């Protein structure tokens, strides 16, 4: 978790419906909402939660750089 203002904390979040990762506000009342509607998923019925520190995302499709083109050394 990073920035906090006493009522809410900015942290990493995920949508349990589509597995999209984005930045969320984790509020003291237990609610979790995207920091910006522009960086959230487009699910019809999203289910946001805070990413736990020990979670591992090892699905090849979601790994960083998985969809980048690969070039051989020239």
The domain segmentation of the chain, as residue ranges, is 8-50
- Residue 62: the pLDDT is 47
- Phi-psi category of 40—alpha, beta or left, where left has phi over 0 and alpha has psi -120 to 50? beta
Phi/psi at 38 (5° precision): -80, -15
- Residue 63: the pLDDT is 41
71 three-class SS: coil
Compute CA distances 61 → 19, 21, 27, 34, 65, whole Å: 11, 13, 30, 23, 9
- Residue 60: the pLDDT is 54
pLDDT, tens digit, 9 for 90 and up, residues 10-55: 999 999 999 999 999 999 999 999 998 887 888 898 999 999 988 8
Taken in order 37, 42, 43, 49, the sign of the CA dihedral is negative
DSSP bridge partners of 61: none
pLDDT, tens digit, 9 for 90 and up, residues 58-67: 665 444 444 4
């Amino acid at each position: 978790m990073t920035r906090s203002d006493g009522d809410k904390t900015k942290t990493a979040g995920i949508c349990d419906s589509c597995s999209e990762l984005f930045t969320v506000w984790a509020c003291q009342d237990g609610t979790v909402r995207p920091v910006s509607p522009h960086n959230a998923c487009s699910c019809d019925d999203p289910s946001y939660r805070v990413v736990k520190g020990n979670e591992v995302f090892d699905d090849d499709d979601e790994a960083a750089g998985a969809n980048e083109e690969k070039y051989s050394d020239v």
